[in-house]
Chain A
Amino acid sequence: MIVDLPPALLLIAGALVVPFLRGPLRAAWMVGVAVAALVNFVGVEHGTHWQVGVFGYTLELGRVDKLGYLFGLLFHIAALLAVIYSLHVKDTVQQVAALAYAGSAIGAVTAGDWITLFVWWELLALTSVFLVWAGRSEKTYAAGVRYLLVNIASGLLLLAGILFRTNDGGSLSIEPMLLGDTASVLIFLAIGIKCAFPLAHGWVIDAYPRATPTGTVFLSAFTTKAAVYLLARVFPGAEPLIWIGLVMASFPIFYAVIENDLRRVLSYSMINQVGFMVVGIGIGTPLAIDGAVAHAFADVIFKGLLFMAMGAVLMRTGTANGTDLGGLYKSMPWTTGFCLVGAASISAFPLFSAFVTKSMILSAALAEHHYLVWWVLLFASAGVLEHAGIKIPYFAFFAHDSGKRPKEAPWNMLVAMAIGSVLCIVIGSFPSLLYGLLPYEPMLHGHAYTPYDATHVVTQMQLLLFAILAVWWLMKAGIYPPEERKINLDVDRLYRALARGFWWIVTVPLAHLGKAIDSAVLERIPARVVAFAGFAHAEERAHRGWVTGASVLIALILLVGYLLVYYLSG
């Protein structure tokens, strides 16, 4: 290592300097910081570093083992690519937030104790929300607030879990735990929110498509993958994860077929890919865990690449809607080519990255006789090809010519996409490079796992080619649903409806109730008592009566909820 500092602090410190620099100097600084942090991290020795004693607790600011190193390395690479991709951006808020966000993610995957993790966990939310707000419209502001609420809620659940754990005499050190007691359930739910478990996934599809073109590239890399890391660290082999992961891998592919906003398609695609990882962690065998984290590594790069391509399209044309795009390959050939590499990688074509990572999860499922899991994941694999492999590049760059002839993406975007493409092909073509970094040596039936055998290549090509054939036939037969200028209801809108309902309850019936209590009880208390108790004047009270009444009631509900949890767990 170059400097004796916890790795996360390098990027954070670098972020704090950004506002004081201008123009090319700032750009050079951002790339320099990202490169220096990467070089520094590569040299960090495995082990526990930077232990600090606070109030009798030992905080481990840097624990680097194989799992932490893999994710740390991945996050450094992702940060560098995203920084290069966003070099043209002249927005201090975004630049500071992006570097600090990447630093927080690195902090989370190198934290050795729960307190340190909690701090990084909340910083992940606080830093990244500015990438959503940077859209600077009413819609992005509202989406950012929703994003923040959900992610902070995850942090509060985590904190509650940590408190329950220490209260029960549990250690602060982050170790695997069995899912069962209150502490473990709370921590599981906290991770689940950031991991976009079904029903908790609304924030991903709500906020990611609304962030800036460059912001989404950062967002797609860190939060959900930090959650995957923590699941692999704390809950390997927890069976519910298999079923949760299966739902995640399958339901988004249906939404992806009919979604018009291509960045929202990619957000569904992200949930689908994280689903594969969650299944792998749930299966819990060394091969399955290896598959899950290797797939996380591959996914950050190919999903980043796809978000980069769509970000370039959005920047150049002002839209990412399938209905308004098409034919862009004519004027954006490089972006098209890089997008196709990302599409081939996520679809798991031989020589491309997911071919050597996702297959470990499917092989592990078969080896453990999880046959239903295998059938569903194989179906989901075909579904990935449909939405990310075909739909994304097809509707953006080919399909019917939209007549748009935007300029090719700026050079810095092309450089970032080129590096991402090379990484996708290197991982897919030389898998031993990645396999050497995995927590376990990938083994299947007592032999080293080999992705490249004749059967795997032939069966995978058959699956993919005939899935493409099916799309071709469905389009030719007029069955394939055309893109429509529509939005699709999902839980994000359900939550917003519930929130509106809650607001109505507070502002209408509860407000009336508050006023009724005021006039029936409070205003009849003799004036002397009122004066003695120091109550406000009657007209002032009537003015804010409903606010007080409602907040007392909310506090009461929270208190009752807390007591319930406390007694049920006791």
Chain B
Amino acid sequence: MHSNDHTPPPNDDGTRHFFDDPVKTRWFFRIFFVLCAVALAFDVLDLIGVGYHKETHLGAEKVPGFYGIYGFAGIVALVIVAKGLRKVVARDEAYDDR
């Protein structure tokens, strides 16, 4: 979640905090993407019937990657609706002092 568009200068002792170091940040996200891929790969194993069997109760759950898709789509929908909500309910901080 850290954009690398600005790189703060190092500390006085020459060290950098973790997320100020573009190399570490890059690795952090690489590992995260690999984890996502691994989580998805289990559904492939389930599909070809090797080593992992997904226990399901609903038809939808059988869709490969169902939980990933639902999680991703759920958050996108949540954030877009919340932005709409902000248009309706947001007020200036001075609202309470009227």
A-side contacts of B95, CB under 8 Å:
487, 493
Are A462 and B86 within 8 A (Cβ)?
no
Q: Does B47 contact A (CB under 8 A)?
A: no
Give residues 73-98 of B contacting A (CB, 8 Å).
73-76, 78-83, 85-86, 89-93, 95-96
Whether the pair A371, B58 counts as a contact (CB closer than 8 A) is yes
In the complex, are the beta carbons of B91 and A462 less than 8 A apart?
no
Which residue of A374, A454, A464, A465 has the most chain B CB atoms within 10 A of its CB atom? A465
Bound together, the chains give a CA A378 to CA B2 distance in angstroms of 27
| CB-based contact A469/B67 at 8 Å | no
Write out, one digit per residue, whether chain A residues 144-182 have a CB within 8 A of any chain B CB (1) or not (0). 000000000000000000000000000000000000000
B79→A462 contact, CB < 8 A: no
For residue A489, CB closer than 8 A to chain B, the reply is yes
A462 touches B68 (CB 8 A): yes
A residues apposed to B, CB below 8 Å:
139, 253-255, 257-258, 329-330, 366, 371, 374, 378-379, 382-383, 385-386, 390, 394, 398, 401, 453-455, 458-472, 474-476, 479-481, 484-490, 493
A329–B56 alpha-carbon span in the complex (Å): 41
A364, chain B: closest CB distance, angstroms = 12
**Residues of B contacting A: mostly:** helix
B1 cross-chain contacts in A, Cβ below 8 A: 390, 394, 398, 471-472, 475
Chain A binding surface SS class:
helix
Taking a contact as CB atoms closer than 8 A, the residue among A139, A386, A462 that contacts B96 in the complex is A139
Q: Are A255 and B85 in contact (CB under 8 A)?
A: yes
Query: Which B-chain residue is minimally distant from A476 (CB atoms)?
Result: B3
Collect the chain A residues with CB atoms within 8 Å of residue B55's CB: 453, 455
Q: Which residues of chain B have C-beta atoms less than 8 A from A374's C-beta?
A: 58
Instruction: Enumerate chain B interface residues (CB-CB to A < 8 A).
Output: 1-3, 8, 17-20, 29, 32, 35-36, 39-40, 42-43, 52-58, 61, 65-76, 78-83, 85-86, 89-93, 95-96
Question: Which listed residue, A390, A462, A487, touches B93 by the CB 8 Å rule?
Answer: A487
B42, B54, B58, B82 pick with most chain A CB within 10 angstroms:
B82
Give chain B nearest CB distance to A180 CB in angstroms.
33
Contact residue among B17, B57, B71 (Cβ-Cβ distance under 8 Å from A462): B71
Do A489 and B71 form a contact, CB below 8 Å, given A257-B79, A258-B82, A398-B1?
no
CB closest residue in chain A, given B79: A474
Contact across chains for B68 and A489 when beta carbons are under 8 A apart: no
Q: Given contacts A394-B1, A455-B55, A481-B79, is CB(A465)–CB(B35) below 8 Å?
A: yes
Decide if A366 touches B71 in the complex (CB within 8 Å). Answer: no
Specify which of A398, A454, A455, A459 lies most central, judged by the most chain B CB atoms within 10 Å of its CB: A459
Identify which of A371, A458, A464, A479 contacts B79 (C-beta below 8 A).
A479
What residue in chain B is nearest A490 (Cβ atoms)? B89
Q: Is the CB of A382 within 8 A of B70?
A: yes
Q: 8 A-B residue contacts at CB 8 Å?
A: A255-B82, A255-B85, A257-B82, A329-B18, A382-B70, A394-B1, A398-B1, A462-B39
A466 near B89: Cβ-Cβ < 8 Å = no
A454 to B61, CA, bound (A): 15
A458–chain B nearest beta-carbon distance, Å:
5
A422 CB → nearest B CB, Å? 24
**Which of B29, B71, B73, B86 has the most chain A CB within a 10 Å cutoff?**
B71
**Residue in B65, B85, B92 whose beta carbon sits within 8 Å of that of A258 in the complex:** B85
